[in-house]
Structure 1
Amino acid sequence: MNDMANLSARERQQIIDDFVDRAFAGIDPDAPGAGIAQAMRRLPDELPDAPAAEVREAWSELVELVSDEAFGQRVRAMALAGAEGGGQAESYDAQTVIEHAGAAVAAGVAPESPEGQRVLDRIVAPETPAAERAALADRLETFTDRRVERYWELMCVLNGRPPYPSGVPSFEWVIAALRAHA
């Protein structure tokens, strides 16, 4: 980590840029979802002379994360799927997922239970055909990953932004409920 703190802002940025370049290689920058690449690159211009332990630890974890080939492949798969998505409208609202599935997770409601079915019906129209539910579960699974969420959390730390509540458990719950009630 001391090496990371001693790198110039440009050198630190290059580590992230190389990762993002690999993940988005060959994807048209105007493709649906491709604009996220720019957000993935946003780092502070400079680290303080004596960065807080939280910042040093975030840098260390971020470098480890972007150096992991499996993580890079996962982000690449998400980038490709997003670019191929064609901007189709989803049959759910992300805020509704966070609200209702988040409450279900907090309350310990099993996705496969009758109560889980009732919660799911508040997120996805009950008349949604089984094939559409399965396809939605697949799409959500493509874009739901705890390590990718961790990337964004680390970027918040490095950029001095407040943390945000985790959304992944809510989406994992919805995926399980969709599969259980297809």
Structure 2
Amino acid sequence: MAELGSLTARERQLIIDEFVQQAFAGIDPGAPGARIAQGMRQLPEDAPDELTPEQAAAWAELTGLMADASFRERVRQMAVTGAQGGEQPAYDPAPVTEHASAAVAAGVAPESAQGKEIVDRIVGADTSAAERAKLAGQIEMFTDRRVERYWELMGVLNNRPPFTPSTPAFEWFAAALRAHA
């Protein structure tokens, strides 16, 4: 821990760069989704060597995530799948965030009749079972609480205000899509 805390800003950047480089190795920078790599490695250019206590805790947690083999594999899987492009999900994420977040907060079960009403509101009642199942798979591919936590921790290191996590809403939405496919 002491060693991690004594790293310079440049050394921290190199650790993040190495992680992102491994996750996106062999992926064409112009491929769909490849631009995410830039955001994943972005620390302030004028970052001080000395971290605040909150930033030091975020850095410690972030390095733990980056050292976790299953997390690295998951990020790599997301990067490769995203770079392949193909057909993109046919939904607007804003209603998912709005309606599915409200469903999660209210304790609505994804498989309930109310869950079906919410799914129908988001994707349309006429969306076929096959389309719902496909969309659920796409959402599951790109929804991971650890990845969202990575972004939260990068926000702390970049002095950005916290954001409301959206992963629970997307997990709920995927489960509701499957339940009503």
TM-score range, shorter chain: over 0.9
Give the equivalent residue in structure 1 for 2:27: 27
Distance 2:49 2:118 in 1: 46
TM-score (norm 1): 0.95
Give the equivalent residue in structure 2 for 1:37: 37
1:4 aligned onto 2:4 = yes
Letter in 2 for 1:93: D
* Cα deviations by residue, 1:105-153 (Å, 9 ceiling, x for unpaired): 1111111000100011111111111111111000000000000000000
Mapped contact 1:5–1:47 kept (Cα < 8 A): no
* Cα deviations by residue, 1:55-106 (Å, 9 ceiling, x for unpaired): 11100000010011110000000001101123x3422111110000000111
Give the equivalent residue in structure 2 for 1:163: 162
Structure 1 unaligned spans of 5+: none
Quote the offset at 1:2 in angstroms.
Answer: 2.7
Quote the offset at 1:44 in angstroms.
Answer: 2.6
Distance 1:6 1:43 in 2: 17
Give the equivalent residue in structure 2 for 1:124: 123
Secondary structure at 1:151 match in 2: helix
Distance 1:177 1:140 in 2: 12
Distance 2:88 2:20 in 1: 26
Q: Percent identity?
A: 60
Mapped contact 2:89–2:138 kept (Cα < 8 A): no
Mapped contact 2:27–2:80 kept (Cα < 8 A): yes
Quote the offset at 1:25 in angstroms.
Answer: 0.4
Distance 1:89 1:75 in 2: 19
Change (3 A) 1:101 1:140: same
Letter in 2 for 1:181: H
* Cα deviations by residue, 1:6-28 (Å, 9 ceiling, x for unpaired): 21222111110110011000000
Secondary structure at 2:151 match in 1: helix
Structure 2 unaligned spans of 5+: none
Give the equivalent residue in structure 1 for 2:57: 57
1:179 aligned onto 2:178 = yes
Distance 2:169 2:65 in 1: 23
- Report the count of equivalent residues: 180
CA root-mean-square deviation? 1.1
- 4+ runs of 1 displaced by more than 6 Å? none
TM-score (norm 2): 0.96
Distance 2:178 2:67 in 1: 33
Distance 2:174 2:19 in 1: 28
Distance 2:40 2:10 in 1: 15
Letter in 1 for 2:165: S
Mapped contact 2:143–2:167 kept (Cα < 8 A): yes
